[in-house]
Amino acid sequence: MLKPLFRIAIFLFLVWGCAPSTNNQHQNEVFRYNEHRNISSLDPAFARNPQNIWPVNQLFNGLVQLDDSLRIQGDIARKWTISDDGIRYDFYLKKEVYFHPSPYFKDTTRIVVAQDFVYSFDRLKDPKVASPGGWVLQQVSSYKALNDSVFSIELKQPFSSFLGVLSMKYCAVVPHEVVDGLGNDFGKKPIGTGPFLFKTWKENLKLVLRKNNRYFEKDASGKSLPYLEAVAITFLEDKQSEFMAFVQGNIDFLNSLDPSYKDELLTTEGKLQPRYENRFRLLIGPYLNTEYIGLFVDKNASKFASKKLRQAINMAIDRKQMVKYLRNNIGYAAHNGFVPKGLQGSTPIKGNDYRPLEAKKILKEYLKKSNTNTVSIQLATDANYLDLCKFIQQSLQKVGLEVSINVMPVASLRQAKSSGKLEMFRASWIADYPDAENYFSLFYSKNFSPNGPNYTHFKNEAFDQLYEQSLKEKSFEKRQVLFNKMDEIIVEEAPVIPLYYDKVVRFTQNNVTGLGNNPINILHLKRVKKVSL
C-alpha cells in the first residue's frame, strides 16, 4: 500500500526547491534523483557505500578512473609507467586541474600538484581520521612527490590489481588548506576537483551540486564537461513514494528494482511493461555482485565441516526459478563459480546445477555417517531478503533438511557474521575494485574474519598457494588459469552457495541521454543530458 499522498506532495516541493529555477529551460538542465538511504559524508575518505560514493564521484577525482567497460583510464594522471618488477608506479599529472573555489585558498583556487596526493594518502592512514578506506594502501610501501607533476608509489610486492584499487573514490585528491580549515566539517562542505561542485546540503532533505565551469575534461568534440547545470538529490526513505515520484516525472532516474514495484515496471521476462515503453528507458547489464549463502565451515564449531552436507545444499536450490519469480529475471542464475558475470576472471566452471535427487542421496549418506535422523539449520538474514530465504527454506525442506529463518537487523547480522556466530547466512559480495582477486580474497585463510572478509573460515592449502601466486602474476592469461583452479576448489568444497550474479538495472525518463551503465553501478553524470521532447 502506498504512503499518503501528502508524502508525495512534500517530495515534489523538495525536488522543485532543489532546482536553481522552476522554469522549464532550467529544469532540463537539472538531473534529479532520490537517495532513500542516508548520506553520511561527502569526504572521499568515507566513500564506503553507494549512497556516499555517488555524490563523491561528482565532486572528486583521483589518479585514474574506470570507463563503463571497466578499463583503466587516466583521470588527473595523464599517463603512468610501471617498473619491470611491478613495484614502482610513476604518475604524470595533468597540469591544469583546479580545485573548486574556496575562501581557504589564498587566490580562491589553485592547481592540483603531486604533494596533494601525498597529503590525501596520508589522511587515509591517519588513525585520527579513521577512514574505512585505509586498507587500500595495505600493499603500498611508500609514496612521494618527485616534483609538482609526478607522483611515485612503491609497493611491498607486485600487485596486479593495484590500478583498479586506485580507481576507488577513497583515493581521490583533497586540498590540505580546506581540510585543515574545516576539520570534521569537510565532509559536509567538500571541496574537490570534479565536474560538479558543492552548493548546499540540508541533511535528510536535499543536496544540490552545481556545474563546475572550470572542469578539465572535454568530450570528443572538444566541448567542456559536464553538460548539466546542476544535480538535485532528495531523501525520501520510502521506496514506493520514490517510485511514484518517478512515474509522475518528478525525478529523472530510478536505481535498482524493489519488490514493491517490480511487477508494475517489469514483466517476468525482465522487459518493460508495455504501458511504460514510450515513457521510460530501461538499462540493464551485469553487476559485480554475487549473492550467496555462506556456511561456517570451522571443523571445531559447525556441522558444515561436512563437505557432503554443503554439497547437498548446493544441489537442492533451483536458481533459475528463483531468479525468474523473485527477481523478474534481473540476475543470472549462479551455475558457475563465485566470480560474477561482467568481470574478467569469471569462469565457465559447472557444479551448481539443480540436482534434487542427488541432493537427497548425498544427504542420506551424511545422516547415516552422522548417526542421526534429521539436520536442523538456522539461516540468518535481514528483512530485505526474507522472500529469497523463504524460497531457500522450501527448497531445502524438499530434500529433507529442517530450516528455520532468523531475521536480524542489518548491523546485528553484519556483526554476527564477522564474529563467526552464524552457521548459515545470506550475504552478498560487491566488488571493491574490478578484479577477480577481490572475490577470491573471501577464501584466503589469512583473511579470517573479523580481521578480513573470510566469514566462512574456509582454509585450503592448495587454494592459498594459488591465491598468493595470482597476486604476483602480471600476465592476465596466466592469472586466468590460476582463477579457474581457485574457482574449481570453491565449487568442489562449497563453503558458499552462490545464488545469482546480479544485474544493474536503471530506469530513466525518456528525455535523459548519456547516462550509460557499468558493472560496478557507479553513477557518472558528467556526460548526461536532458533533452526537450
Range 60-179 has CATH code 3.90.76.10: yes
Distances (CA, A) of 233 to 32, 207, 250, 330, 359: 6, 5, 12, 26, 49
What fold, for 1-38+203-279+510-533? Answer: D-Maltodextrin-Binding Protein; domain 2 (3.40.190)
Q: Do residues 230 and 20 lie in contact, with contact meaning Cβ atoms separated by under 8 Å?
A: yes
Q: What is the pLDDT of residues 375-396, one digit of tens each?
A: 899 999 999 899 999 999 999 9
Q: What is the mean pLDDT of residues 167-182?
A: 97
Classified as helix, coil or strand, 314 is helix
In this structure, what C-alpha cell is assigned to residue 116?
A: 596533494
Exposed/middle/buried for 429, CB within 10 Å: 0-12, 13-18, 19+?
buried
- Give CA angle at 489 (485, 493), nearest 5°: 175
Q: What is the mean pLDDT of residues 21-42?
A: 80
CB neighbourhood size of 207 (10 A) = 21
pLDDT band at 406 (very low <50, low <70, confident <90, very high): very high
DSSP strands (E only) in 353-401: 376-381
In this structure, what C-alpha cell is assigned to residue 347?
A: 569462469
How remote is the C-alpha of 450 from its chain's centroid? 21
Lowest mean pLDDT among 9-13, 313-317, 451-455: 9-13
Q: Give the model's pLDDT for residue 5.
A: 41
- Cell 573460515, located at residue: 457
Q: What is the mean pLDDT of residues 222-238?
A: 96
Q: What is the mean pLDDT of residues 331-347?
A: 85
| Omega of the bond leading into 348 within 30 degrees of 0 (cis) | no
Closest by CA to 502, choosing from 214, 256, 136, is 256
Classified as helix, coil or strand, 502 is strand
Q: Give the model's pLDDT for residue 20.
A: 43
The pTM of this model reads 0.86
DSSP strands (E only) in 279-336: 280-295, 332-333
C-alpha to C-alpha distance for 248 and 524, rounded to whole angstroms? 24
Q: What is the pLDDT of residues 256-289, one digit of tens each?
A: 888 888 899 999 888 999 999 999 999 999 999 9
CB neighbourhood size of 372 (10 A) = 11
Exposure of 44 in the CB half-sphere (CA atoms within 13 A): 28
C-alpha to C-alpha distance for 71 and 55, rounded to whole angstroms? 22
Q: What is the mean pLDDT of residues 415-432?
A: 93
Q: What is the mean pLDDT of residues 506-516?
A: 95
- Cell 517489469, located at residue: 266
Question: Average pLDDT over the chain, rounded to whole?
Answer: 91
424-430/402-407 β-pairing: unpaired
Q: Give the model's pLDDT for residue 69.
A: 87
In this structure, what C-alpha cell is assigned to residue 164?
A: 583498479
Q: What is the mean pLDDT of residues 349-365?
A: 89
C-alpha to C-alpha distance for 208 and 210, rounded to whole angstroms? 7
- Cell 570453491, located at residue: 490
Mapping DSSP onto H, E and C, the string for 121-166 reads HHHHHCCCCCCCCHHHHCCEEEEEEEECCEEEEEECCCCCCHHHHH
Distances (CA, A) of 306 to 292, 316, 350, 491, 496: 19, 16, 21, 14, 13
Classified as helix, coil or strand, 424 is strand
Q: What are phi and psi of 477, to 5 degrees?
A: -60, -40
CATH 3.10.105.10 residue ranges in the chain?
A: 287-503
Residues 6+ apart with CB under 8 A from 262: 327, 328, 330
C-alpha to C-alpha distance for 405 and 411, rounded to whole angstroms? 17
Instruction: Kindly tell me if the per-residue pLDDT of 441 is higher than 70.
Output: yes
| Omega of the bond leading into 274 within 30 degrees of 0 (cis) | no
Q: What is the pLDDT of residues 59-86, one digit of tens each?
A: 999 999 999 888 999 999 999 999 999 9
Instruction: Kindly tell me if the per-residue pLDDT of 234 is higher than 60.
Output: yes
Q: Give the model's pLDDT for residue 22.
A: 42
Q: What is the pLDDT of residues 450-459, one digit of tens each?
A: 988 999 999 9
CB neighbourhood size of 172 (10 A) = 25
Instruction: Kindly tell me if the per-residue pLDDT of 6 is higher than 50.
Output: no
Q: What are phi and psi of 297, to 5 degrees?
A: -105, 15
Residues 6+ apart with CB under 8 A from 413: 380, 381, 382, 422, 425
DSSP strands (E only) in 203-316: 206-211, 230-234, 253-255, 280-295
CATH 3.90.76.10 residue ranges in the chain?
A: 60-179
Q: What is the mean pLDDT of residues 477-499?
A: 93
What fold, for 287-503? Answer: Dipeptide-binding Protein; domain 3 (3.10.105)
| Top mean-pLDDT range of 109-123, 259-273, 328-342, 361-375 | 109-123
C-alpha to C-alpha distance for 271 and 439, rounded to whole angstroms? 30
Q: What is the mean pLDDT of residues 116-135?
A: 96
Q: What is the mean pLDDT of residues 288-296?
A: 95
Instruction: Kindly tell me if the per-residue pLDDT of 4 is higher than 90.
Output: no
